Structure 1
Amino acid sequence: MHKTPIDLTNCDTEPIHIPGQIQSHGFLIVIDQNLNITYHSENVHAFLKGIPDVLLGISIRDIESIIGQNEPPDFINQLISFGKINGFDQTNPFHTDIQGESYNLIISRSGSAYLLEFEPVLSDLKTDIQKMIGRSIAEMLADKDITTLLNNTTYQVKTVIGYDRVMVYRFASDGHGEVVAEAKNENLESWLGLHYPASDIPKQARELYKLNLTRLIANVFTTPSKILSTRQFAEQPLDLTNSQLRAVSPMHIEYLKNMGVHSSFSISLIYKGELWGLIACHNYSPRFIDYKARDSAKLIGQILSSALEFRQDEANKYLLSKLNANVDALSKLMLKDNSIEEALTEQYVTLLDAVEATGALLAYENNITKLGKTPDDKQIAQLIEWVGNNVSETFYYTNELPEIYSESVAYKHIASGIMVITLSRELAEYIIWFKPEHIETITWAGNPDKPFELNSDGSMILSPRRSFEAWSQQVAGKSQEWQDEEIKSAMRLKAEVTYAINQKAGAIRMLNERLKQAYEELDTFSFTISHDLKNPLSTIKGYAQLLTRDASLQPRVKDTLVRINDKVDKMNLMINEVLEYSRIGRQDIKPVEVDLGTIIADQIKDLKIAFNTDNLKVVLGNTPVAYGDPVMLSQVFANLLSNAIKYSMEQPQPTIHVEGKEDELEITYSIKDNGVGIEIKQLPRIFELFKRMDNVQHIEGSGVGLAIVKRIVEKHNGKIWVDSQLGKGSTFFVSFKKGV
């Protein structure tokens, strides 16, 4: 019979959270909100003697005396009630006695149902993991070097749980993994440094590792137990995302068998909410670790995750602090010197110091200045032409230029990676940084491009690499990746250069006439919006309100009319904000001394009431005076403070820090929050009209506010920029020149 060829990319779509079966070393009973049994594993009768032949549909209370001989009546219901209030981590595991054998009961949710999983208490471990864990963690964290930290971790975990091989397996950005630390029995060959393709641990498996921080496969040679249900639930596969006993994908079981592994255990390592890697443990004979031991091992993973994050953050902060200091110096040089070009390329600090690059160029005012290692003049001219024709973003970077621009292959040893700031596309003015090719030899555990093999009858069979012999591949044409800190620094420099150019020129040099024309068109557009759009909206709103008075309308129709009203109000708001955006561009400023401290304090009081945030914490530092239009400056801080509060509301303790600092040239205010933050890739567009970030679509807003703020700040010859980290919060900086 012909078999359909199977590719390991099938793994990415395999529904591993609903396998329809569990590992057979324990058993599962699922109950609904009324405590009635809706699913159970087929092997229940092998564990529970004397229970009814048919369990589906009966109450869990009917068999409580069997599954908890020494427990009080209704103990399952009491555990669930306690867990719903305090979390099931406070009840798990519940130690009970089943017909003379000790079992752990683990309770978790599956939609509106509850999973009751029963595992033996008896473990294969010969040591008390809870007694050993404190000393092991202390020794694990003894060194600040990340490599030593990882090596210590594998040694300590192996000592505690006694598996034959313990590895730290780190995921790359493309999903493939590498063994970066290892402790093993002496008779085993080393896997340190080996790489494994992303298909070995597919995407949806990596997502589950973020939810289930430990995962045990006790014995790959046992037959899993099917999950039974009534016809009523047969078409609703049971979600086992939170299950401890969840069966393993047949593909993964075959993969482990091919490796000779009989039992595996993994501990997730999380960095900033994402899966950084795994502590992967392999045993070459079956091995069962009970729930308490797994939970203790999970603590090792959580502490290592925190240590990794702390050490990486330390390195990131050091790099960002160094780059920020260089950008600050460049900013002052640009404002003091007569020539932007000299300030960026001829001083003690240059644009090459703004990022970790080996070369850079400034194309400005029909002149190209090169720093460090760069392509030759002809290659640069062709590269600039390619950038002008193919790069639409004003901020762009890649670490694989030869892949997308074939002509760059000739100088990939200099520029496999580029980062580009567009100063003026019309004038072909750019800042470009270069990173050289980083040739890397990757040793794979078997050929990653050979996911299936021929059977003896000529048919294709799934074989997740029966051979794991080292297979080397040289990766060329790529540079080391641009770090987030480099991206932030380059974006900051972009704002500083733009500001300095505007200050030197007094206007955008060759675009004056076009800007005048744009302002005239904007006036016409504003008039069209206010008359040709707002009037029909008022009519729509009027008709909708009139229709709602009809008592014969169905509730669903009335709800639709209410939604129409709401959308009309939102459209009116957006129109008014666009008109405000237009008005600011035409309005003249008569600067006066503005007491920003009083304005900010009053706004915070009003916003606390408006957002009803009793738990909001505001830290207000120095508030030096600034010069400008009081109404416009009030708009700036009202918008920034409102955003800081609005996007921090979901935090248990929303906290806002506001502080102003001044030096001999500038006054700079920072508004810092601990809210949702902004993804690094979206930072360059944050001040554009109608741009809203993907992670705040559920929060009310139009995407115009920050565009208005930027326009006001630039109207005051100031500058605005942002530093943000997804999930950690944002800091907006607003800077004004001192004096009138």
Structure 2
Amino acid sequence: MVFLIKHDYGKYALGLVPSDEIVQEIDGLILESSYDALYSTNTFDHPSPESRSNSSSFLPGIVRVDILPSSGWYLYAFRKERIVEETWAGKPEKVIRYDSQNDVSFASPRTSFEAWIETTKGKAEPWKNTELQFLKDISRIVQHSIAQRGGEIEELNKELIRSNNALETFGYTLTHDLKNPLTSIQLSAQMFLRKKEMSDDLKLKLAENIIESSKLINDMMDKVYKMSQVSNVEFDFELIDPQPKILSIAENSKYQYEVLNLQFELGDCIPVWGERTLVYQLFLNIVGNAIKYSSKSSSPKVEVYSESIETSTVYYIKDNGIGMDLTDNSNIFEIFKRMPNTEGFEGSGIGLSIVKRIADKLHAKISVESKLNLGTIFRIEFQKNIE
């Protein structure tokens, strides 16, 4: 018995199996017959003269079991021709004689009882039920292996997507999120250089700005690196007052986007549960975007305020910038998604996708309302008492 597994990408043979052309002919004849997942015969009449004339390729015993027929996966078992010789006491034939006188026909008695051999060709050993069941079991094992490998490939694809996302996050942090603390360091250093005489309090404040911004840069790089190394990072959650960071973000963004006439209003800032660096990056992107996309308004205005509702703390970031047309149900949180009216503003379309990932890490919900040329309101809902 020889075996063949055939699929869309090739075949695997165990033993000397028929050629591809013969297997194709076999498949064509099997399709013309009615079978339910398994076809078997021990008297298959090969249409090809090549297979009938070659004893090694003439395999009248055939079983074909479906594995994944939609993908061209089949299991074949072939069995060679079994030539049967039966020995008789004399040739088993009757000679009919005719008696013309009595006008009758009659069988003549056998005159010889010498051994006579009858040869039967074109058949293979009949398939037993245990053999057919064995082939079905092999088919199921292969099906399971394919499904398992498919699952492994799916996991590898997910891992690849996760790695790509981590790389995008890492790159975006390098090119975007670090600009704000770097701007703070630059402004403080410039003031040190330009203002020869300053009070000790001002010197202390500028030095603290530089130290705090440097620490932010280090923390952001550390968090992004950790997220790029593993699929799940356990963050230390604590109760955070975001007010000082929001004020710092707004002040630095004014200079970064050259919006010195910005009207910035900060309402109640209720402490939120989260990881310190991620909360900073979340507000950095949303407040920074609000200021950036309001920068070309005649009277740019950005408001930030919060409220407490049942088990959540909700923050609102409102601007009177260019707004967005959301009537086509666009998912603004898709990576590289930029609205048509953002031409003329720096950006790569990654920021809001990073915002969504950070919100997910913080177990926060984020939504947006916007009208074209009127402005945008982002709503961030933080859970209370996250353990």
Structure showing greater Rg? 2
Q: If the length of structure 2 is used for normalisation, what is the TM-score?
A: 0.43
Q: If the length of structure 1 is used for normalisation, what is the TM-score?
A: 0.23
